[in-house]
């Protein structure tokens, strides 16, 4: 069966450290993978997209890697801050799917403490 697994439901780290979140997928052939941030009571917000032929993408303190051999994406937040506390979702668009349909993981709740 198809699965998207985000390995930790919750991750707690100290301010200033690097947070690393993991997304693994099974039985998908993604054209690209995306990461979203969701704050309590709000809709997800797009952060980064990485294509299958890209190894790494950066945006300010955020970095995403994508390994199609391992079927895994890593999401890093460097120099983390309490304001980074949120739930982070990975999502992918499968090559076989139609019309921009995305499949989401359940998310990892990140807490950054001072």
In terms of CB distance, is 41 or 114 closer to other proteins?
41
Among 11, 13, 31, 74, interactor with other proteins by CB under 8 A: 31
Paired tokens of 48 = 């980064």
Determine if 1 is a binding residue for other proteins (CB under 8 A). Answer: no
Determine if 46 is a binding residue for other proteins (CB under 8 A). Answer: yes
In terms of CB distance, is 105 or 110 closer to other proteins?
105
34's CB contacts (< 8 A; 6+ apart) are: 46, 47, 48, 49, 50, 90, 91, 92, 93, 102
Give residues in contact with other proteins (CB under 8 A). 31-32, 34, 41-46, 49, 89, 91, 93, 98-102, 104-107
């Amino acid at each position: 069966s198809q699965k998207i697994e985000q390995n930790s439901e919750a991750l707690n780290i100290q301010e200033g450290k690097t947070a690393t979140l993991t997304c693994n997928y099974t039985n998908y052939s993604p054209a690209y993978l995306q990461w979203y941030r969701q704050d309590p009571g709000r809709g997800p917000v797009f952060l980064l997209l990485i294509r299958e032929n890209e190894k790494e993408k950066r945006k300010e303190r955020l970095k995403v890697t994508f390994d199609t051999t391992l079927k895994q994406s890593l999401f890093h937040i460097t120099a983390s801050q309490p304001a980074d506390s949120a739930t982070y979702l990975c999502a992918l668009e499968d090559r076989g799917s139609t019309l921009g349909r995305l499949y989401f993981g359940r998310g990892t709740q990140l807490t950054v403490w001072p």
